[in-house]
């Protein structure tokens, strides 16, 4: 038995008393076209739950503000190493970019987003991001070049910050090299502040005996927790408001509670579920997101919809 749903083919089969709908995914053009159409139907200027890190949609929860405060404090007080951890999708990468906008012009920064590099490649990436020439043939030359750069910045009373995202993927050898970088200091202060940002596995890796010296140098630590129920409600309202909602779209309390339950408060999952909810509103020609719509959308994201 075949059925058409939003331009995709659904194969229907029985399971118990429910009917399981397994859907072929929408093609990119079909999916994008439907999303464009739901904007007009729901009175929105732009997509409120896009997966891109658009700073205009930034919502800093209490947890995000606390994490940002820890990072700013560690940088300004020149604490050397700063460790920020959180589950996948909690907004760590977005927070790194927010930090870059919060630092003053006297703070020179480098942001490494792909840490699966060798020791030499990491040094080259760091040197290049600081605006230096990375085409040295060996690590010793790169290290000396970076050392001269740090001393020059210190003479100008500038601070230097290296941010490494997804740091749980760094090898033990690379982490040891990063520890050696932190040895660059004057008698009074650290020449470079290093922020390690990663998933909880980063904490596990840093607890290994081989990284004892690095762990002892971490001056600031913070673990980011998911959003609570009230923050999920505020998050949804904030993004709808920024997207230009005319107020005709209603998101009920049980709809918010269901988003919280399905997403566990993870912003990335909230965006996925809420975007699918808006698409479902367009498909069913309704302007009210309740718990039923959210449950339907969450199941559809997993590739199946149960129809009673």
Burial 54-73 (b: 16+ CB within 10 A, else e): eeebbbebebbeebbebbee
Domains of the chain: 2-57+228-307 (1.10.8), 62-224 (3.40.50.300)
pLDDT of 7: 39
- Give the global pTM: 0.83
Question: In this structure, what are the phi and psi dihedrals at residue 120, rounded to the nearest 5 degrees?
Answer: -65, -45
Given a cut of 50, the residues of the chain with pLDDT beneath it are 1-30, 308
Q: Is 93 exposed, middle or buried (0-12, 13-18, 19+ CB in 10 A)?
A: middle
pLDDT of 55: 75
């Amino acid at each position: 038995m075949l059925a058409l749903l939003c331009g995709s083919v659904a194969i229907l089969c029985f399971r118990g008393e429910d009917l399981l709908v397994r859907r072929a995914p929408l093609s990119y053009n079909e999916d994008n076209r439907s999303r464009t159409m739901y904007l007009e139907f729901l009175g929105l200027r732009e997509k409120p739950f896009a997966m891109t890190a658009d700073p205009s949609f930034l919502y800093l929860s209490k947890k995000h503000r606390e994490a940002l405060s820890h990072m700013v404090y560690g940088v300004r007080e020149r604490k050397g190493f700063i460790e920020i951890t959180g589950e996948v999708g909690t907004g760590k990468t977005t927070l790194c970019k927010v930090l870059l906008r919060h630092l003053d012009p006297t703070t020179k920064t480098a942001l490494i987003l792909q840490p699966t590099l060798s020791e030499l490649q990491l040094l080259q990436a760091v040197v290049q991001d600081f605006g230096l020439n990375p085409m040295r043939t060996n690590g010793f030359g790169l290290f000396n070049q970076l050392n001269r750069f740090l001393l020059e910045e210190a003479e100008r009373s500038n601070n230097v910050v290296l941010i490494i995202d997804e740091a749980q993927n760094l090898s033990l050898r690379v982490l040891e090299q990063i520890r050696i970088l932190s040895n660059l200091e004057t008698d009074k202060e650290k020449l470079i502040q290093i922020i390690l940002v990663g998933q909880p596995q980063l904490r596990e890796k840093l607890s290994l005996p081989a990284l004892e010296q690095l762990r002892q140098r971490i001056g600031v630590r913070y673990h980011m927790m998911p959003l609570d129920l009230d923050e999920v409600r505020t998050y949804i309202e904030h993004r709808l408001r920024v997207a230009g909602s005319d107020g005709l779209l209603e998101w009920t309390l049980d709809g918010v509670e269901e988003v919280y339950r399905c997403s566990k408060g993870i912003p990335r999952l909230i965006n996925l579920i809420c975007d699918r909810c808006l698409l479902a509103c367009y498909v069913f020609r309704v302007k009210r997101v309740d718990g039923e719509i959210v449950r339907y959308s969450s199941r559809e994201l997993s590739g199946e919809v149960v129809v009673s």
